[in-house]
Chain A
Amino acid sequence: MPSSRKSAPARKKKDATRKSGEKRAQTQKVKDAAAKVLIVNMIPKSLSGEDHQDSEPSLAVNPSNPLQIAASAFTPDPSEGPRAPIYVSADGGTTWTLNSIVPSTVADGSVTGDITVAFGTSSNFLYAGIIRFPFPGERTRLNILRTKDFQSAEMMKVLVDRMGKGVDQPYIAAATFAAGSGKKKDRVYVGNNDFNADSGRTATIDQTLNGADTKPGFTTNRIESRPPSSQDGPPIRPAIHSDGTVYGVFHSWRSFNNSSGEGTADVVVVRDDKGGASPKPFTDLVDPSDHNAGIRVVRGAKFNFNGVLGLQRTGGDVGIALDPKNSDIVYVAYNDDQPDGGYALHILRSTDRGQTWSPELKRVNNALNPAMAINTFGKLGLLYQQLTGAGASQQWVTKFETTTNGTSWSALTLAQVPANRPPKQFDPYLGDYEHLMAVGKDFYGIFSANNTPKKANFPNDVVYQRNVNWETNTLLDIDNITPVGISIDPFFFRVAG
Chain B
Amino acid sequence: MPAKSRKTDPSSQPTFVFKGTVQELKSSTMKEVPISARTIVVSVDQVLEAPKNLAKLGGHKVTVQLSGKQKARVGQEMIFYTQGWIFGHGVAVQSLNEEPIMQSKAHAALLSRGGDPVAHKRSREVQERFDSADMVVSGKVTAVRLLADAIKQSKAGTTPPGPVSEHSPHWREAVIEIDEVHKGKHTKKNVVIRFPASTDVRWYKAPKFEAGHQGYFMLHKTPIAKGTAPRAAKGKAGKPEAAAEVYTALHPLDFQPYSQQGGVRQIIESQKA
Residues of A within 8 A of B (CB): 44-47, 49-50, 55-56, 74, 77-82, 85, 88, 90, 95-100, 105-107, 109, 111, 113, 131, 133, 135-140, 151-153, 165-166, 168-169, 193, 195, 202, 230-231, 234, 256-260, 305, 313, 315, 424-428, 432, 465, 477-479
Contacts and interface: CB of A to CB of B under 8 A. Distances in A.
B159 interface: yes
Nearest to B94: A153
Interface string B203-228: 01100000000000000001111001
Pairs of residues from A and B, 7 with the lowest C-beta to C-beta distance, nearest first: A79-B84, A97-B88, A82-B11, A426-B204, A81-B83, A106-B10, A195-B163
B181 interface: no
Given A106-B11, A136-B222, A137-B168, 10 more contacts: A79-B51, A80-B84, A81-B11, A105-B11, A107-B10, A113-B202, A153-B85, A234-B166, A258-B159, A426-B199
B54 A79 contact: yes
Nearest to B205: A109
B200 interface: yes
A105 B10 contact: yes
| Size class of the contact patch on chain B | 35 or more
A107 B251 contact: yes
State the main secondary structure of chain B at its contact with A. loop
Most chain A beta carbons < 10 A, residue from B32, B51, B87: B87
A80 B88 contact: no
B57 to A, nearest CB: 7
A136 B200 CA distance: 14
A44 B87 contact: yes
A78 B163 contact: no
Contact of A79 (B15, B30, B200): B15
Contact of A74 (B60, B201, B205): B201
B163 A231 contact: yes
Nearest to B32: A97
Contact of A96 (B88, B200, B204): B88
9 contacts: A46-B90, A79-B53, A80-B121, A97-B87, A98-B88, A106-B15, A139-B225, A153-B85, A231-B164
Interface in B37-61: 51-54, 56-57, 60
Nearest to B84: A79
Given A82-B11, A106-B11, A259-B154, A77 B166 contact: no
A313 B51 contact: no
B10 A426 contact: no
Most chain A beta carbons < 10 A, residue from B60, B65, B93, B225: B225
Nearest to A200: B163
Contacts of A259: 154, 158
Nearest to A263: B164
B4 interface: no
Interface string B88-120: 111101100000000000000000000000000
Contacts of B240: none
A116 B65 CA distance: 29
Contact of B84 (A78, A95, A257): A78
Contacts of A98: 86-88
Contacts of A193: 165
A166 B86 contact: no
A165 B167 CA distance: 13
A77 B16 CA distance: 12
B87 A428 contact: no
A138 B166 CA distance: 9
Given A46-B88, A98-B88, A136-B223, A315 B166 contact: yes
A79 B167 contact: no
B184 interface: no
A258 B156 CA distance: 11
A234 B158 contact: no
Contacts of B222: 136
Contact of B87 (A47, A74, A80, A109): A47
B51 A80 contact: yes
B162 interface: yes
